[in-house]
Homo-oligomer: A and B are copies of this chain.
Amino acid sequence: MEKYKLFDAEYKFASIIWDNEPINSTELVRRCAEKLGWKKSTTYTVLKKLCNRGILQNQDAAVTSLIKREDVQRYESNAVVEKSFDGSLPKFLTAFLGERKITEQEAEELKQIIEESVK
Q: List the interface of chain A (C-beta within 8 A of B).
A: 8, 11, 70, 72-74, 76-78, 80-81, 83-85, 89-98, 100-104, 106-107, 109-111, 113-119
Other-chain contact of A80, B80, B90, B115 (Cβ < 8 Å): B80
The minimal Cβ–Cβ distance linking A64 to chain B, given in whole angstroms, is 21
Contact B74 A80 (CB under 8 A): no
The minimal Cβ–Cβ distance linking A103 to chain B, given in whole angstroms, is 6
Q: How long is the Cα–Cα vector from A115 to B89 in the complex, in angstroms?
A: 15
Q: How long is the Cα–Cα vector from A119 to B102 in the complex, in angstroms?
A: 6
Contact B83 A11 (CB under 8 A): yes
Contact A77 B96 (CB under 8 A): yes
Closest B residue to A110 by CB, please name it.
B114
Closest B residue to A80 by CB, please name it.
B80
Nearest 10 CB-CB pairs, A to B? A77-B96, A73-B95, A97-B117, A101-B119, A80-B80, A76-B84, A77-B95, A107-B118, A93-B113, A74-B95
